[in-house]
Structure 1
Amino acid sequence: MIGRTSLFARQAITKFVRNSHAHGGVPGENLPFDLHNHYKLTALFIVFFGSGFGAPFFILRHQLLKS
């Protein structure tokens, strides 16, 4: 039973890699954002990390201002 499971997993991973259409070797090719526009990349990083960092403070403010 273990042999069949590992064979199935190996075939599934091989099929996934072959169908991924990734050429490989190009930095940032598989990322969901563009690395060439540095200003847009900086803005996206500030929004992404700023929202995660600032969320507890906004939640706390909301809770303290509730009547």
Structure 2
Amino acid sequence: MLGRSSLLARNLTKSLVRFHSHGGTPGENLPFSLQNRYKLTAYFVLFFGSGLAAPFMVVRHQLLKK
């Protein structure tokens, strides 16, 4: 029984690897494009800037609250 399940798992992983559409080009599996340098820079600034600014905005909100 153990041999049959491992054979089934091996065949499943082989088929998943075989039919996966990853061409091997860098950035193909990312949810954003790497082609436009300025758009990518804006995404990075917004993403990391919002994470950095959030604690300061929370503290400001708490200090201004009455």
Q: Same fold (TM over 0.5)?
A: yes
Larger radius of gyration: 2
Partner of 2:65: 66
Instruction: Please list the CA deviations of residues 8-59 of structure 1 after superposition, one character each: whole Å capped at 9, or x if unmatched.
Output: 76566545444542122x0111111111100100000000000001100000
Structure 1: stretches of 5+ with no match in the other structure: none
After superposition, the Cα gap between the structure-2 partners of 1:21 and 1:62, relative to the gap in structure 1 and judged at 3 Å, is: same
TM-score, normalised with respect to structure 1? 0.72
TM-score, normalised with respect to structure 2? 0.73
Mapped partners of 1:9, 1:57: distance in 2:
50
Partner of 1:46: 45
Mapped partners of 1:59, 1:12: distance in 2:
49
Structure 2: stretches of 5+ with no match in the other structure: none
State the percentage of identical aligned residues.
56
| Runs of 4+ residues over 2 Å off in structure 1 | 7-20
After superposition, the Cα gap between the structure-2 partners of 1:18 and 1:64, relative to the gap in structure 1 and judged at 3 Å, is: farther
